Structure 1
Amino acid sequence: MMNYRHILVMIDLSPDSYSLIHKASFISNLHNDAKISLIYVNTDYSDAYTGLIDVDIRNIQSYRLQDINNMLKNLKNYIYFPVHKVFIGNGDMTSCLLDVTQKYNIDLIIFGHYQDFWSKIVFSLRQIINSLHIDMLIVPFY
């Protein structure tokens, strides 16, 4: 059995993130208190829309970043163990995960996957699985 040293939990800041964090804590305890880090990948609105729009994207992103920081603070209040690092990524999810896993020697990533029609179309695990060469725990949400 592999001994994990650093676990990365990909969170979406929904209540389902708590169950992922709980699983990470359980696995960490089984593996000599492996470090646990959290990552949230933020959608970059300026890349998501390329047409004409009459909105100041910087203000939207600033408010969104403020919301993300508040949600992360709430999550940290729930966590009863030390969090090694908290990352907020922007842009392509696979690139963000690849960058963090390589730079910080992550050897297990935990993330959730919603089991509904739209998630199957919008969120593809194939690219992540093919790009990251580490162990993954995919937790289905219903």
Structure 2
Amino acid sequence: MNYRHILVALELEEESKALIDRAVYLAKLTDAQISFVYIDGSHGEIYPELIDLKQTPDEHPFGEHAVEQILAFEAHSPLAIKQILVGTGDLAEKLKDTVAEHNIDLLICGHHHDFWSKIVSHSKHLIDKSPVDILVVPI
């Protein structure tokens, strides 16, 4: 498949760089654009809409430290990042509208191989709800 727009689901952990590297590799192969999404699920659905940090850098639903980490991930990518979508709530619930609105055709997310991921898998929840292809990268 020739992907045109890849969405990378970030966590605020160094392991997200592996997801970015995979997106860059695929984007170079297919001449695709890359965007990021970060959803802070720890506070519930405070803001129903996703905000693009590239268009509105002063408007975001969480602290400056989180924004700094996300921008550091942007700096990690050797390719330009089209959008950095941020919000609160549940990514899987927002995925259908986000994919349609931004013409996403591949979602890249990570999956931890640890005790908690065996009990509660966020990747499985995304897979069940995703309207597009998903690349799940073990981290």
Q: Report the TM-score when normalising by structure 1.
A: 0.79
Paired residue total:
126
1:18-65: CA deviations, max 9, x gaps?
Answer: 11101101101110x201000111124266xxxxxxxxxxxxxx9942
1:24 and 2:54 are equivalent in the alignment: no
2:5 partner letter: H
1:109-132: CA deviations, max 9, x gaps?
Answer: 001000111112122433322221
CA distance in 1, matches of 2:124, 2:69: 29
What corresponds to 1:119 in structure 2? 117
CA distance in 2, matches of 1:4, 1:46: 32
What corresponds to 1:98 in structure 2? 96
Range that drifts further, 12-21 or 71-80: 71-80
What corresponds to 1:109 in structure 2? 107
CA distance in 2, matches of 1:81, 1:116: 31
What corresponds to 1:38 in structure 2? 36
Conserved? CA contact 2:110–2:123, under 8 Å: no
CA distance in 2, matches of 1:114, 1:79: 22
CA distance in 1, matches of 2:2, 2:87: 27
Superposition pairs of residues 1-142 of structure 1, within 5 angstroms = 2-31=1-30, 33-45=31-43, 64-141=62-139
Larger fraction in helix: 1
Q: Secondary structure at the match of 2:19?
A: helix
Conserved? CA contact 1:41–1:96, under 8 Å: no
CA distance in 1, matches of 2:103, 2:44: 31
CA distance in 1, matches of 2:13, 2:131: 27
Structure 1: 5+ residue stretches without partners: 48-61
CA RMSD, aligned part only? 2.1
Conserved? CA contact 2:123–2:136, under 8 Å: no
CA distance in 1, matches of 2:96, 2:64: 25
Conserved? CA contact 1:90–1:96, under 8 Å: no
CA distance in 2, matches of 1:90, 1:46: 6
Conserved? CA contact 2:108–2:137, under 8 Å: yes
Specify whether residues 110 and 138 from structure 1 end up closer, same or farther in structure 2 by C-alpha distance, changes over 3 A only: same
Conserved? CA contact 1:41–1:88, under 8 Å: yes
